[in-house]
């Protein structure tokens, strides 16, 4: 086999990629590598160890001029609704784990000082463990995958994996589990990321594109690989969560979010978490909705055109996202009842952008939607975007059988959950770059697993130190916190 260059320059994404408007944001346009065999790609990945040894990934030390975490949080207040910023801080103050969920920007800055091999994938940008979950496919099957893409952009695959690993350690600590358990959980997760990538190296292009995990697949795999008692407990948890997710539909939430006034449905008014808009603002939202329809494929637009736009409200969501403009819209179809709720959410620059370069997209909502479609095998059919009072916004369904993990203080919960998150992350990464390169770099031994676990424990310690600095600022009155 001819000698391969260690890191071909064409594998390094240009910081300001120039791509055709129809291809904007597609990672594939950044990697014009030509056709190579699986063995060549594996060899290429292995050669990258010379510039970025696997042993280097376990090291974590704060940069000499690391920004103050409170100052970084304050910098994120710009562009947020001022009245909601104290709500964000209140949710962050619950525990180091909730603090980690809201500090993707702080961790992105820290990760920018860690080694990478220079291969960029379509990255999630905020791949913590609770940004994975189940949702309904158009065929109404429950699929498990990443389900938050506010920060998605082309970036280092290592950053996503390390954020997931750190969140698993922080989650174990939050539930009072031992360091040994957390270590097993992270090792198991990275093992499954590695194994999934190696399996995908033998797959065809379409097999990689279509690879996904249903709840049925998840249960079948458990019974094939786990002891009977462990599989039985996991099956009970998963089945309960799946039943709850299947019931999370627009019809189920109708009575919770709306009320009938003068014979017409409208959103309840319960600030600060949900606030109905004025009639004039509802008209503005209706105009936004009509503009958003232009970003949908014709068949999907046709479906939504059969609905009547009824009402709109502000609705606070998440932890890190609190303060960004987020709205819900109620549509009414031909049935009685026949509701459909859409969520409209402000899109800002990815937290990775300062370190990997600006997005190829001019509209940040378009960036989010494109990244989600790349990373997921099955996506919300009503994903779209437009501008609301010049603010970039993306749209998705509010309730589409979505379900987030109910965290349990059990070692086997974290072991099972961590492995399916990591396996899903590997699938997502493989859709935008040849998995053989990353698989060749990681290898088949536990060497890389050990290093990521070492990093995850160290960074979880850093997160706890940052959390204490944050709490000190709250107690000292430097950050206002709402009472919820």
Per residue in 172-193, pLDDT (tens digit) is 999 999 999 999 999 999 999 9
pLDDT band for 201, please (50, 70, 90 cuts).
Answer: very high
In a shared domain, residues 334 and 354: yes
pLDDT of residue 460: 98
In a shared domain, residues 453 and 469: yes
- Entry pTM: 0.90
pLDDT digit string, tens, across residues 248-269:
878 888 888 999 888 889 999 9
Domain boundary among 337, 366, 397: 397
Task: Give the rounded percent of residues in the chain with a pLDDT score beyond 70.
Answer: 93
Residue reference for tokens 């506010």: 150
In a shared domain, residues 294 and 237: no
| Residue 16 within any structural domain of the chain | no
CB-based contacts of 265, cutoff 8 Å, min separation 6: 254, 258, 259, 310, 311, 330, 332, 339
Domain boundary among 348, 365, 397: 397
In a shared domain, residues 347 and 421: no
In a shared domain, residues 321 and 190: no
In a shared domain, residues 39 and 180: yes
pLDDT of residue 105: 96
In a shared domain, residues 259 and 167: no
Structural domains of the chain, count = 2
Among 122-131, 201-210, 395-404, 419-428, the least confident range: 395-404
Q: Is the pLDDT of residue 13 over 50?
A: no
| Residue 316 within any structural domain of the chain | yes
In a shared domain, residues 111 and 126: yes
Convert 132-148 to b/e letters by CB count within 10 Å (16 or more is b).
bbbbbbeeeebbbbbbb
In a shared domain, residues 98 and 170: yes
In a shared domain, residues 275 and 360: yes
In a shared domain, residues 45 and 147: yes
The two structure tokens encoding residue 18: 């120039």
What's the domain range around 377? 250-397
Domain boundary among 362, 397, 432: 397
In a shared domain, residues 229 and 312: no
Q: Is the pLDDT of residue 222 over 80?
A: no
The residue ranking higher by pLDDT, 325 or 468, is 468
Instruction: State how far the Cα of 166 lies from the Cα of 461, in Å rounded to an integer.
Output: 10
pLDDT of residue 34: 56
pLDDT of residue 484: 62
| Residue 1 within any structural domain of the chain | no
| Residue 407 within any structural domain of the chain | no
| Residue 13 within any structural domain of the chain | no
| Residue 410 within any structural domain of the chain | no
| Residue 327 within any structural domain of the chain | yes
| Residue 404 within any structural domain of the chain | no
């Amino acid at each position: 086999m001819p000698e391969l260059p260690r890191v071909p320059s064409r594998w390094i994404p240009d910081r300001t990629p120039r791509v055709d408007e129809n291809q904007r944001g597609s990672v594939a346009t950044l990697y014009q590598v030509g056709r190579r065999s699986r063995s060549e790609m594996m060899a290429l990945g292995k050669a990258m160890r010379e510039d970025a040894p696997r042993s280097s990934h376990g090291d974590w030390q704060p940069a000499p001029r690391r920004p103050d975490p409170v100052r970084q949080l304050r910098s994120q207040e710009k562009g947020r609704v001022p009245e909601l910023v104290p709500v964000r801080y209140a949710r962050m103050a619950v525990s180091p784990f909730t603090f980690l969920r809201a500090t993707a920007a702080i961790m992105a800055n820290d990760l920018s000082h860690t080694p990478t091999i220079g291969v960029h994938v379509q990255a999630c940008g905020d791949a913590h463990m609770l940004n994975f979950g189940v949702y309904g496919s158009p065929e109404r099957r429950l699929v498990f995958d990443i389900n938050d893409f506010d920060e998605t952009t082309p970036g280092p695959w290592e950053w996503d994996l390390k954020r997931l690993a750190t969140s698993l350690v922080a989650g174990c600590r939050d539930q009072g589990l031992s360091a040994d358990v957390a270590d097993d959980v992270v090792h198991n997760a990275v093992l499954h990321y590695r194994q999934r990538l190696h399996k995908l190296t033998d797959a065809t292009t379409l097999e990689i594109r279509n690879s996904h995990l249903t709840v049925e697949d998840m249960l079948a795999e458990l019974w094939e690989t786990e002891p009977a008692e462990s599989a039985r407990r996991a099956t009970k948890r998963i089945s309960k969560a799946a039943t709850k997710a299947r019931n999370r539909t627009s019809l189920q939430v109708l009575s919770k979010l709306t009320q009938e006034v003068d014979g017409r449905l409208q959103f309840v008014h319960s600030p600060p978490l949900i606030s109905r808009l004025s009639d004039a603002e509802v008209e503005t939202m209706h105009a936004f909705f009509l503009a958003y329809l232009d970003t949908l494929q014709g068949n999907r637009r046709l479906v939504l055109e059969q609905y009547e736009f009824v009402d709109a409200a502000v609705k606070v969501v998440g932890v890190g996202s609190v303060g960004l403009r987020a709205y819900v819209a109620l549509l009414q179809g031909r049935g009685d009842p026949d509701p459909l709720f859409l969520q409209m959410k402000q899109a800002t620059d990815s937290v990775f952008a300062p370190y990997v370069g600006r997005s190829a997209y001019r509209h940040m909502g378009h960036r989010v939607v494109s990244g989600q479609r790349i990373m997921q095998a099955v996506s919300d059919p009503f994903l779209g975007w437009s501008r609301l009072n010049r603010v970039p916004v993306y749209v998705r369904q509010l309730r589409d059988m979505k379900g987030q993990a109910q965290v349990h203080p059990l070692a086997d919960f974290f072991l099972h959950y961590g492995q399916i998150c990591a396996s899903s992350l590997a699938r997502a990464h493989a859709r935008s770059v040849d998995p053989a390169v990353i698989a060749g770099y990681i290898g088949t031994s536990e060497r890389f697993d050990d290093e990521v676990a070492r990093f995850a424990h160290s960074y979880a310690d850093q997160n706890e130190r940052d959390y204490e600095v944050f709490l000190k600022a709250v107690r000292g009155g430097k950050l206002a916190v709402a009472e919820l």
